[in-house]
A and B are shown apart, each in its own frame.
Chain A
Amino acid sequence: MAIENEVKLIGIWSSGFVTRVMIALNLKGVEYEFLPEDLSSKSELLLKSNPVYKQVPVLIHGGKSVCESLVIVQYIDQVWASSGPCILPADPYDRASVRFWAAYVHDKLTSQIRVLILKEDEKSKAEAEEQLFTALLLLEEAFVKCSKGKSFFGGDSIDLVDITLGSCINWLKAMEIITGTKFLDKTKTPRLAEWAERFCSAEAAKEVLPEAEKLVEYIKFLRAGNRAAAVSSSK
């Protein structure tokens, strides 16, 4: 592949933000090189490509770096507009609606999942769970409206909302295993529960979604690290 067309993705296997980018690249049939990062010892390439946040994912296309998962997915949709399905619809009002729900998932779900993973006190966890359930109920309604009876938020094909919410599914499953609380509950959010199964078995997603069981181990590792940091910072 010519240098100007080379696509690389700096990421880690567990990050939902990285998963979003991989799914988008898969949807568009774009070949890329995955560069696994060690966040405890960040590479020169990462520090140079994302000097502001020093975080993954970073997409490097033709030597230029693009950062922030939702910015990267929209970039992919624009650059490879003629390949694969549209990740964002053509109509401006529909685009605004898709961006709205993707931003909602990004703001509401990922932050609460982070609280559930890292906070140990019962009060924070209970509040996070409540907020998660409220968000999932709202997304159930949004799904009915957006999908119009079809398989995905994007209708027949996966769109930005599917990608953003879909990258959370196995994190939610991991939390279900750890806490015993069912988040994607067929009795409370039946459409979302069915959608989640379809999403996880979709071609573009199935190879790249991190396995829930592996995430359970990873969460235990994160929590141990968090406790150690709390102990050392309180000395």
Chain B
Amino acid sequence: MATKQDVKVLGWSASPFVARVRIALNLKGIEYEFLNEDLGRKSDLLLKSNPVYKKVPVLIHGEKPVCESLLIVQYIDEVWAASGLPILPADAYDRAVARFWAAYIDDKLPNQAPVLLGEADEPTKAEATQHMFAALQQLEEVFEKCSEGKSFFGGNTIGYVDITLGSYLGWMKAMEKIAGIKLLDEEKIPQLVKWAERFCSSDAVKEVIPQVDQFVEFSKVLQAAFKAAASPSN
């Protein structure tokens, strides 16, 4: 059995990508040590563990690093297959569908973050908001189809798509406050709004995603992180 020292997560509490890893570990009941990174000054451990991207999250399991949030989630699901419930479905086609929608979410949502969590003029914010709405509208339909009347995209329990989308909920609530927009609108996306409440209050998630005020405090750091990520020298 993995001891707390065997499993470390290098991360930063306001990152949705880090949240994914912590949620997956919680779902599997795995204890881990959380090493908080200072984004302004990356640790030697981070630079050594993720020399290619120099980014969080990194999972270090028995001293071997695993990088890229969705790859880490799949790793956790495979290594601790006997613990907790499966994160990805067993069936090949269902698995492909889950991977497709996770890739869609990562394709559509994070691009809007630098605008909606930062400073931008009204037309730019309006365009980013439109893109977010379009994606969320699509995901409302996906939820209806995938959940088959159950609580999560994954069915009765949190699955891969739930983790991928749910990890952005902190940012989405922060976007609502910072940009003054309503994303989680009960009238437009009623099922997703209810899903979001269920997700955020579940045991595996509730301690992981910070409160909105913390995100707003973090927004200046986030803006710097976005600018750094956008620069080609990274």
Chain A residues within CB distance 8 Å of chain B: 52, 61, 64, 66-68, 71-72, 74-75, 78-79, 92-93, 95-96, 99-100, 103-104, 127, 131, 138
- A124 and B103 CA atoms in complex are apart in Å by 27
Q: Does B74 contact A (CB under 8 A)?
A: yes
Which segment, of B8-16, B27-35, B89-97, faces chain A?
B89-97
**Bound complex: CA A47 to CA B78 (Å):** 34
> Chain A: which residue is nearest B50 at the CB level?
A100
Tell me which of B64-72, B169-177, B178-186, B203-211 binds A.
Answer: B64-72
Closest beta carbon of chain B to A76's beta carbon, Å: 9
Complex CA–CA separation, A218 to B71 (angstroms): 35
Which residues on B sit within 8 Å (CB–CB) of A93? 61, 64, 66, 75
Pair A74/B99 contact, Cβ less than 8 Å: yes
A78 x B92 contact (CB < 8 A): yes
Q: A95 to B75, Cβ gap below 8 A?
A: yes
Q: Which residue of B lies closest to A77 (CB)?
A: B92
Closest-CB distance, A65 to chain B (whole angstroms): 9
Which residues of the partner chain B approach A127 to less than 8 Å between Cβ atoms?
Answer: 232
A-B residue pairs in contact (CB < 8 Å), sample of 24: A66-B93, A66-B100, A67-B100, A68-B99, A71-B96, A75-B93, A75-B95, A75-B96, A78-B92, A78-B95, A79-B92, A92-B78, A93-B64, A93-B66, A95-B74, A96-B72, A96-B74, A96-B75, A100-B66, A100-B67, A100-B68, A100-B71, A103-B71, A127-B232
Indicate if the CB atoms of B75 and A72 lie closer than 8 Å. no
B98-119 toward A: CB 8 Å interface, digit per residue (1/0)? 0110011000000000000000
A138/B52 in contact, CB under 8 A: yes
Contacts of A138 in B (CB 8 A): 52
A92–B74 CA distance with the chains assembled, in angstroms: 9
Known: A75-B96, A131-B232. A95 touches B103 (CB 8 A): no
B230 at the interface (CB under 8 A from A): no
The interface residues of chain B lying within 8 Å CB-to-CB of A100 are 66-68, 71
- For A68, the chain B residues whose CB sits under 8 A away are 99-100, 103
Docked complex Cα distance between A71 and B95 (Å): 9
Interface of B toward A, CB cutoff 8 Å:
52, 61, 64, 66-68, 71-72, 74-75, 78-79, 92-93, 95-96, 99-100, 103-104, 138, 232
CA gap between A108 and B219 in the complex, in Å: 28
Tell me how far the C-beta of B193 lies from the nearest C-beta in chain A, rounded to whole angstroms: 22
C-alpha spacing A54/B229, complex, angstroms: 29
The answer to whether A75 touches B92 (Cβ under 8 A) is yes
Cα-based distance from A163 to B92 in the complex (angstroms): 20
Q: How far is the CA of A172 from the CA of B78 in the complex (A)?
A: 35
Decide: A71 and B66 in contact? CB cutoff 8 A: no
Q: Which residues on A sit within 8 Å (CB–CB) of B61?
A: 93
- Provide the residues of chain B in CB contact with A99, threshold 8 Å: 68, 71, 74
Cβ of A61 to closest chain B Cβ, rounded Å: 8
Q: How far is the CA of A79 from the CA of B90 in the complex (A)?
A: 11
Chain A residues in 8 Å Cβ range of B67: 100
CB distance from A99 to the nearest CB of B (A): 5
Residues of B within 8 A of A75 (CB): 92-93, 95-96
Please indicate which of the listed interface residues B67, B71, B72 has the most CB atoms of chain A within 10 Å of its own CB.
Answer: B71
Contact A72 B96, CB 8 Å, known A92-B79, A127-B232: yes
Separation of A79 and B91 alpha carbons in the complex (Å): 9
Q: How far, in angstroms, from A100 to B103 measured CA to CA in the complex?
A: 14
Residues from chain B with Cβ under 8 Å of A131 in the complex: 232
Structural contact, B68 and A71, CB atoms closer than 8 A: no
Structural contact, A64 and B100, CB atoms closer than 8 A: no
Q: Name 5 extra pairs, CB < 8 A, besides A74-B95, A75-B95, A96-B74.
A: A66-B100, A72-B96, A74-B99, A78-B92, A95-B78
Question: When chains A and B are docked, how far (Å) is the Cα of A61 from the Cα of B78?
Answer: 26
Q: List B contacts of A67 (CB < 8 A).
A: 100
